[in-house]
Amino acid sequence: MIEADGKLELTGLEAGYGESMILRDVSLKVEPGQVVCLMGRNGVGKTTLMKTIMGLIKPKKGTIRYAGHDYTSRSPDRRARAGIGYVPQGRDIFPQLTVEQNLLLGLEAASAKVRKAGIPESVYEKFPVLKEMLYRKGGDLSGGQQQQLSIARALVSEPKLLLLDEPMEGIQPSIVLDIERVIESIKDDKQMAVLLVEQSLTFATSIADYCYVLDKGTIVAEGSSDTLSEEQVRRHLAV
Ligand SMILES: Nc1ncnc2c1ncn2[C@@H]1O[C@H](COP(=O)(O)OP(=O)(O)OP(=O)(O)O)[C@@H](O)[C@H]1O
Ligand SMILES: [Mg+2]
């Protein structure tokens, strides 16, 4: 792994929709191979931050550095090709396309080298259920399976940095466990950095190397899982 591979560094980000600024002065770091969690109540700007990192929202202020370069004004497409994988909140797969077609779309975002090699076998190892359902329509899968497909589609391009926005939201417990195991295996492989938006404090603190808590668009607490006290986090997460 190159030293800066997957490294993300946000400094003083300000972003929002039209005139309404959501994020204020957000600075955050993800080191190569790390799992970093972003927590916070509903509506505080977690998804807005993920979209800004992916380039879907243009920041008014601040910088986004990725893999040692300034990506602040690069297109989402260039970010994807440079190895940023994005799993949006709410599993937006293509319901009319088969599982395999959905996965092939993930390849479109990949570097030329990965595209040529096709869907990596490692994706099916992580999600065996998808291999069994390759020719089924995405829309016929259960909600949890669609979420797995959405994550698999991002993994197909072999990203160096994976952005996961609430992958466990509204999913049946058995599949939650499967997805947690996949995130753990990604962490063990150490080939990919992960920025995970997660509401479960238990899972977040068990998996994360470092956590940030966002409130009203600003980072209000941060620390490694053992230094960031549960009380501190709970205070900001409580409604
Ligand atoms: N497309 C949009 N246009 C205008 N405002 C938006 C848009 N999307 C989100 N917002 C507003 O931005 C704020 C932050 O929303 P965001 O989706 O980033 O929060 P979140 O922390 O991801 O919430 P949740 O936990 O519910 O997913 C909210 O007040 C929301 O209403
Ligand atoms: Mg959100």
Measuring from atom 27 of ligand 1, which residue has the nearest CA? 42
Q: What is the mean pLDDT of the chain?
A: 93
Q: What is the pLDDT of residues 55-110, one digit of tens each?
A: 999 999 999 999 999 999 999 999 999 999 999 999 889 999 999 999 999 998 88
Q: What CATH number is given for 8-237 in this structure?
A: 3.40.50.300
For residue 53, give the ligand nearest its CA: 1
Q: What pLDDT is recorded for position 1?
A: 52
d(CA 184, CA 201): 16
> Could you tell me the end-to-end alpha-carbon distance of the chain, in angstroms, rounded to an integer?
41
What average pLDDT does range 144-149 have in this prediction?
96
Q: What pLDDT is recorded for position 4?
A: 72
How many C-beta atoms lie closer than 10 Å to residue 200's C-beta?
A: 16
Q: What is the pLDDT of residues 194-215, one digit of tens each?
A: 999 998 888 888 899 999 999 9
Ligand 2 mean position to 9 CA, how many Å? Answer: 20
Ligand 1 mean position to 19 CA, how many Å? Answer: 14
Ligand 1 mean position to 23 CA, how many Å? Answer: 10
DSSP character for 177? H
148 within ligand 1 shell (Cβ under 6 A): no
